[in-house]
Amino acid sequence: MGAHAPDRDLTELAASARAALVREIDASGAWAADPEWREAFEAVPRHLFVPYYYVGVLGGYERLWGESPDPRTREKWVRGAYADAPLATRLRDGELVSSSSQPSLMAMMLAELRVRDGDRVLEIGAGTGYNAALLAHRLGDDHVTTVDLEPEITEAARRHLATAGYHPVVVTGDGARGVPERAPFDRIIATCTLASVPTAWLAQCRPGARVLSPLATGLIALTVRDAGHAEGRFLHTPAYFVPLRGAGLRNQEPVDPSGVPRRAREDDLFRFLLALSRDSLEPRQAHALWEREGRPGRERYGVTVSGDREWAWLDDPEGPCAWPLR
């Protein structure tokens, strides 16, 4: 790569790396539920949404950026931007506050959103703007709204989107309250972990809308019946996102599993149950349920919202294995 002509070289490298990423996602089966998302991932340039990011190194993080004077660093930045991996994009006091999610997970979530032409989508958690760009490419700018609590995040997302040629509505606000002025929505997708489902979201949905969100360490897919009722099951896949921040949201610190056998403490599926039942079941109770029910996978669990009640359940919303979420 010549130091005096980086733009053309980086553009060519980005196109090649993007094509390789699409092939990798294709092979993973991530968008099997809706292969039309392939075209959006082919078209939207991820590197424009991560002008810099951080990679873990011994003792901390290394910052990679596209304006580095070192051509080798610029090349490393582009290749990393198209790796099928999450990218840390914003740190505060050493803590991750914003990231660009793993592309294959994004592809799976978008496919599971089951959009149709004309759907209006609300994204909770603007991040870099990349996910909003994929949605806007598929549905059109006017059908996509994305919201984030931090002005610096929404300003950057808006800038990245404009650079890539997309102009969905970007709102600075509390994602837990939705964006009522842009309602009603046919789909809501969150890219941050919830502790419970905000009731404001359901009130902003059309009947039959689909809500897809990280919850505990899984992905819940809810069908909205009306402003006060929604129900659905978890997908089988694990999902780890930064928590949703906003007014009135409760602490999501990890549960201390003391007193539970080490084998269970280290099991991903038990830790999912522990996170999902954190306010209702003690760790030993959760462990007893998990063993008794055959160490169930995520897809056997679900969530129901009915008025001011919200509960999680195993196998049957009205069955014996159920507990309140709020």
8 A C-beta contact, residue 111 and residue 135: no
**Alpha carbon distance 103, 25 (integer Å):** 8
The length of the chain is 326
Which of 116, 109, 325, 85 lies closest to 236, judged by CA?
109
Spatial separation of the C-alpha atoms in residues 96 and 89, rounded to whole Å: 8
- Cα first-last separation, the chain: 56
Indicate if 16 belongs to the active site.
no
User: Which is catalytic among the residues 98, 104, 196, 213?
Assistant: 98
Torsion angle of C-alpha atoms 5, 10, 11, 15, degrees rounded to 10:
150
- Report the side by side order of strands in the sheet with 218-226: 169-172, 144-148, 121-124, 185-190, 205-215, 218-226, 229-234, 301-306, 309-314, 322-324
- Joined together, the tokens standing for residue 246 give 């906003």
Phi-psi region of 295 (alpha: psi -120 to 50; beta: other; left: phi over 0): left
Q: Which residues are catalytic?
A: 98
